[in-house]
Amino acid sequence: MNRIVIICCIISLSACSKFGQKSTYTIDGNLSAKDSSVIYLKSYQTAEPTLDSTFIVNGKFTFEGKLSAAAQFFLYTKKNEETNQRLSFVLENENYTINGSEDSIANAIVVGGKEQAYYVALRTALKPIEIQFKELQKAYYQAADQKDTASMTAIDAKWELQGKIFDSLNNAFIKNNPAAFASLLAIDELAGGVIDPAVIGLLLESVNPKLLESPLGKNLSDKLLKAKKTAVGQPFIDFNAKDINKQDFQLSKIKSKYILLDFWASWCGPCRAENPFVVKAYEMYHPKGLAIVSVSLDDNESDWKAAVAKDHLNWIHVSSLKGFDEPAAKLYGISAIPQNFLIDSAGTIVAKDLRGDALAIALANCLK
């Protein structure tokens, strides 16, 4: 049914004729909100991060500007920011109207622009799956609190199934709409934090080349290039850094049979959950030739050092304390953590993203 929705929307959109190309955008909004409230318009997908603001007067507001390419924008007030609510839409150089309420801004109605219509078609198709994800996540946390491992395993299986449906809907949309900006957003969704170069490479090749000239298209292409450079079978990328004692460090100077290059942060829950597996692997395989280098994406030195001590991470630690602007993380294309790379003595990446027991299994095969 979802696929039918997508195809029908595309047929109607394709039938529209575009008689003129506007060079600027105008947004006229009607929002039930406190008078003189400030409303913000933000995007990370423009050539430079965009943040504009204006006042809501008598329930109305207006934004005007110019874009070099369509981009995803977010609209929110200070009140919305405090409750983590925002309206997501695709903006291009067209006239837009937005109608809604501050208390439910995420559900405001956006009218204007062909690219926004494509985006609505995509989100409409994905919404039932996203609802399922939220329900499964809530059920998983409840099962985890009760230490109900059987239910947790069953929920994992349901999550995987819904994930496959979610991916298939995104893939169908991209196939049917190769020139739509929303297809780039779908590819970005499929790429996630850990890009599969083979999959994402084919998807980027399938869309209109003009899309790849947009800031998001360039960003995805850059991520793909970095993913290819750090794929299994590729040589490791050397880097210099300061270790936890502020001493100079260079990755290539570590001489060991295998090096696990691990990207993490003290504030990252999944990273901290992985640490016991890494500690166990280190204790078992360090005597056989395993070295670990952990690169922290922290920006607070005290938090970083406290987590290292608390989790008993007794190996090499480096960080520039710049968060995701960590130079080593940029070299390896890290946009989500935890991530890791297993490097052999020849300097070749032999495995990556080893989570849970998969790390010990891989090391058992390498260090027999």
What are the pLDDT digits (tens) for 295-349?
999 999 999 999 999 999 999 999 999 999 999 999 999 989 999 999 999 999 9
Calculate what percentage of the chain has a pLDDT beyond 90: 79
At residue 328, the pLDDT reads 96
- pLDDT tens for 265-287 read 999 999 999 999 999 999 999 99
Residue 1 has pLDDT above 90, yes or no: no
pLDDT band at 22 (very low <50, low <70, confident <90, very high): confident
Output the pTM of the full model: 0.79
Residue 49 has pLDDT above 90, yes or no: no
Q: What is the 3-state secondary structure (H, E, C) of the chain?
A: CHHHHHHHHHHHHHCCCCCCCCCCEEEEEEEECCCCCEEEEEECCCCCCEEEEEECECCEEEEEECCCCCEEEEEEEHHHHHCCCCEEEEECCCEEEEEEEHHHHHHCEEECCHHHHHHHHHHHHHHHHHHHHHHHHHHHHHHHHCCCHHHHHHHHHHHHHHHHHHHHHHHHHHHHCCCCHHHHHHHHHHHCCCCCHHHHHHHHHHCCHHHHHCHHHHHHHHHHHHHHHCCCCCECCCCEEEECCCCEEEHHHCCCCEEEEEEECCCCHHHHHHHHHHHHHHHHHHHHCEEEEEEECCCCHHHHHHHHHHCCCCCEEECCCCHHHCHHHHHCCCCCCCEEEEEECCCEEEEECCCCHHHHHHHHHHCC
Q: What is the mean pLDDT of the chain?
A: 91
Among 145, 147, 150, 209, CA closest to 183:
209
5 vs 21, higher pLDDT:
21
Look at 89-98, 131-140, 199-208, 298-307 and tell me which has the smallest mean pLDDT. Answer: 131-140
Residue 6 has pLDDT above 70, yes or no: no
At residue 20, the pLDDT reads 53
- pLDDT tens for 230-259 read 999 999 999 999 999 999 999 999 999 999
At residue 44, the pLDDT reads 86
Determine the average pLDDT of the residues in 61-84: 93
At residue 50, the pLDDT reads 83
Determine the average pLDDT of the residues in 82-88: 92
- pLDDT tens for 163-191 read 999 999 999 999 999 999 999 999 999 99
Domains of the chain and CATH, by start: 2-115 (2.60.40), 126-229 (no CATH), 240-366 (3.40.30.10)
Residue 66 has pLDDT above 60, yes or no: yes
pLDDT band at 11 (very low <50, low <70, confident <90, very high): very low
At residue 21, the pLDDT reads 65
At residue 12, the pLDDT reads 43
